[in-house]
A = this chain, B = another copy of it.
Amino acid sequence: MTAQPETRTPLSRERVLAAAIALADEQGIEALTMRNLAGALGVEAMSLYYHVANKEALLDGVVDTLVSEIENELGGLGVPDGEWKESLRNRILTARGVMLQHPWAPSVIETRTTMTPTLLRYMDTLLGILVEGGFSNDLGHHAMHALGSRALGFNQELFAPSDPSDNDDGMAMLSDVAPSLPYIMGMLSEVAHDDPDSTLGWCDDQTEFEFGLDLLLDGLEQRMLRT
């Protein structure tokens, strides 16, 4: 039990980022404060600033780490051989797999304002898949924008409940306003909603994500062939 007692491994940027991800995974993103993170690393808060410029830089690094995680699962960088549509779909669904392991990640990505080299390289590979698949630069450009956050495996819904597993957040009061929601009530009586196992938000479940993704991919294919 006194195995490694005083041999505190020195901090490093990588250790800090890994600890930040672990902390967010375990206690939620709101628990990721400089003080908490330092505590988890057995260190004072101010020590973090030696390895990371400030909290924004910490979050940038966290996102970079997640993008690297995606690329590792795909076996590294580089445009793969094979059909563009399949490659792109596969890549994006792999990205989604990483997001599902870190459900707080989309909310962090949404707040980033600086484009990092890692993210740029990820996007370059996506664009490369399109261009090598026959897209013009112009159509490839449109395609990247049309995909938006889907390129990283998540879809921005109109709102996300605090606890993804608790749909009653917005549902409890739904009965109050039901009379003024004829179409939604009609739909809900007929359509099952949400697979709790593959969900990144109220409605961003696997089925809906793939529906929207395929809608875009099919549309892009048609516009490419039309050229």
Contact = CB atoms under 8 A, between A and B. Distances in A.
Number of this chain's copies in the complex = 2
A87 B131 CA distance: 34
A157 B109 CA distance: 10
A111 B203 CA distance: 15
A39 interface: no
A190 B199 CA distance: 39
Interface string A197-227: 0000011100010011001101110010000
Contacts of A109: 158-159
29 contacts: A107-B110, A109-B158, A110-B110, A114-B169, A114-B170, A115-B170, A117-B176, A117-B180, A119-B158, A120-B174, A125-B183, A127-B183, A128-B182, A131-B186, A131-B187, A137-B190, A138-B191, A141-B187, A145-B157, A145-B203, A145-B208, A146-B208, A146-B215, A148-B155, A148-B212, A149-B157, A152-B158, A215-B216, A216-B219
Contacts of A146: 208, 211-212, 215
Contacts of A125: 183
A106 to B, nearest CB: 9
Question: Interface range on chain A: under 10, 10 to 19, 20 to 34, or 35 or more?
Answer: 35 or more
Interface of A: 107, 109-115, 117, 119-121, 123-125, 127-128, 131, 137-138, 140-142, 144-146, 148-149, 151-152, 155-162, 169-170, 173-174, 176-177, 180-184, 186-187, 190-191, 193, 202-204, 208, 211-212, 215-216, 218-220, 223
B120 A159 contact: no
A220 B169 CA distance: 30
A176 to B, nearest CB: 8
